[in-house]
Structure 1
Amino acid sequence: MSYLEDFEVWKDAIEGVLPGKVKPPNQPVDDFVAKTETLAVDAAEDREALKSAGMDENLIDELTPLSGTLRYCQAKWMSEYRARAEAQTQWKEQAPQAYALRDELLHHFSFAYRNHDDIIKKVRRIREGASHADMIQDLIELAVLGEKYPEPLTSVNLDPDLLPQARTVSHTMSELLAAANGANGEGSANKLLRDKAFTLLFEKDSTIREYGRYVFWKDEDKRSKYYK
């Protein structure tokens, strides 16, 4: 079966892991899965001995497909994580120019509308706030305001391309900020699903290893295969 097919089989069980039981990976997922897949082979050879000690032999058969499921979930989360990390990088590169554009427009607007009481109040309100979200909103509001009252801006020879540029930059930076937020995975459905898949596989892996160490307590070679 493919990793996606494994995931479809195990999806409901993974989603059913209770939040309080979720165990984030304490080691690289690829390394853990590789060790679990090796355990599946070793435990299959010792199936009868493990079964005779009271272990549910279905645990052995579940290791490989659940390992594939975890690989699938990990791939989805890493794809999202890399996209967010890239968005963070782009934000850091582009944000200074966006802030500079906002500040330049505020400078021109404050002078051009200085004798227009109703408009200058709007400019002052736009100037309030210092967050990234404020900057993005400022750009679109400045573009709308400038398009609505163009004459004073024309009188100070404001570059007419700055207003559509402000719209474009506001849209671009809004998308980047949305993508960049939460790059550490907080609130990510894909990360939670990965963590739940790890939890489920970790529990089954640990149970088999526990039985293996118990059964082969006098056989050092055999017992060593059941250590993590």
Structure 2
Amino acid sequence: MALDELLDEHEQGEKVRGWLKDNALGLIGGLVLGLALIGGGKWWTQRAHQERVATGETYDRMVEAVDAGDLDKAKTEAAALAGTKYAALAALDLAKAQLEADDRDAAIATLRGATSEDPGLAAVIRQRLARLLVDAGQGEDALKLLDGVDDPSSIETRGDARYALGRMDEARKDYQEALRKLDAAAPQRQLLELKLTQTGGTPETTGTQS
């Protein structure tokens, strides 16, 4: 090999060693940071899994307390689920148990504090609370809760609130609207038609398919 080629290789080697020397701390720091990010990601995933398991166990304890009739414990466990995806389900379960224990006011309070980002669950909470409010003679509060609803069950409940308040014409319109939106084969259609009749309305012979 020619002398000038050996010198070039030597110079290149010196440059590489010099660059490594000057950047050693940065390389080590980058390696440490990369390992930390990998480890941190695993830790976060494991922690999230553990939290999901713990939340599920809390919900199970709440259900067991409801089944055992220990509503005080059930209420405590339900409160521990606040802010989780189980919160709405826990509130519905607890409110049902409270109502079965003839504590309507407690059931109303439970549902008033319940929220859900899921539209379906939110609608169920709203309907059940509204029905309890109507039963408790708080029809106006129920109407506020049902303002702007567009599903058949909620519209029917709004009609119930207006019926309880003696506003027959408005109740009749609600029942008619609910029937128009309800499937002709829906099992609750017969009761809804009876409510319409009680307000002076006449059910149509056939329903509109949804």
Where on the TM-score scale, by shorter chain, does this alignment land: which range?
A: under 0.3
- Structure number with larger C-alpha Rg: 2
Give the TM-score of the pair, scaled to structure 2: 0.27
Give the TM-score of the pair, scaled to structure 1: 0.25
Q: Which has the higher contact order (CA 8 A, sep 6+)?
A: 1
